[in-house]
């Protein structure tokens, strides 16, 4: 079933990679400040939630998945998004590049605190590897429960 789910969600998986890379480049390449509006651009979390809702809604009528398949869709999308965030954070620290991924607000540290260390950032991001699949699963299940009737049938 995992291979079917991966084939079904390959478009949002690719979009998440594109979003993560563009978000990485916002500060060092495009010089878009994190605040007041930069953080809202290319939100990996926002795209993950929307993708989970859409693909959760389509899981039964288009993908012909059971509820377990819908759960797996949410887990895959949530884990992939958090893994990308962790990788981009690691690259930011390793390359010494100031990006949105290592901004104090993104890492949930106080504004007046010194810069986070790589270990602190990786611990924060590792927690996301657990929270991301949970959030993705909840959103996929909501998508299926609420919006499933709006999804087209495979033969429509």
1-12 pLDDT, tens digit each: 999 999 999 999
pLDDT surpasses 80 at 155: no
Supply the pLDDT for residue 40.
83
Check: CB of residue 143 under 8 Å from CB of residue 52: yes
- pLDDT at residue 156 is higher than 70: no
**What is the distance, to the nearest Å, from the Cα of residue 67 to the centroid of all Cα atoms in its chain?**
21
3-state secondary structure string across the chain:
CHHHHHHHCHHHHHHHHHHHHHHHHCCCCCCCCCCCCHHHCCCHHHHHHHHHHHHHHHCCCCCCCCHHHHHHHHHHHHHHHHHHHHHHHHHHHHHCCCCHHHCCCCCCCCCCCCCCCHHHHHHHHHHHHHHHHHHHHHHHHHHHHHHHHHCCCCCC
pLDDT > 70: what percent of the chain?
99
Would you place residue 141 in the very low, low, confident or very high pLDDT band (cuts 50, 70, 90)?
very high
Where does residue 78 rank: exposed (0-12), middle (13-18), buried (19+ CB within 10 A)?
buried
Give the model confidence (pLDDT) of 56-115 as tens digits: 999 999 999 999 999 999 999 999 999 999 999 999 999 999 999 999 888 988 888 778
State the pLDDT confidence band at 130, using cuts at 50, 70 and 90.
Answer: very high
- Cα 95 from Cα 74, distance rounded (Å): 31
Residue 48 in contact with residue 78, Cβ under 8 Å? yes
């Amino acid at each position: 079933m995992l291979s079917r789910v991966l084939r079904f969600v390959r478009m949002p998986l690719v979009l998440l990679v594109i979003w993560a890379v563009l978000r990485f480049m916002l500060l060092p390449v495009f010089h878009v400040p994190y605040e007041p509006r930069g953080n809202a651009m290319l939100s990996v979390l926002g795209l993950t939630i929307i993708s989970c809702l859409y693909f959760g809604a389509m899981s039964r009528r288009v993908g012909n998945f059971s509820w377990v398949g819908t759960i797996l869709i949410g887990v895959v999308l949530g884990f992939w998004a958090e893994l990308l965030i962790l990788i981009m954070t690691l690259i930011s620290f390793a390359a010494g590049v100031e990006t949105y991924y290592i901004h104090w607000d993104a890492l949930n540290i106080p504004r007046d605190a010194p810069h986070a260390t790589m270990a602190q950032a990786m611990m924060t991001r590792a927690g996301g590897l657990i929270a991301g699949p949970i959030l993705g699963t909840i959103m996929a299940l909501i998508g299926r429960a609420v919006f499933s009737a709006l999804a087209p049938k495979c033969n429509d």
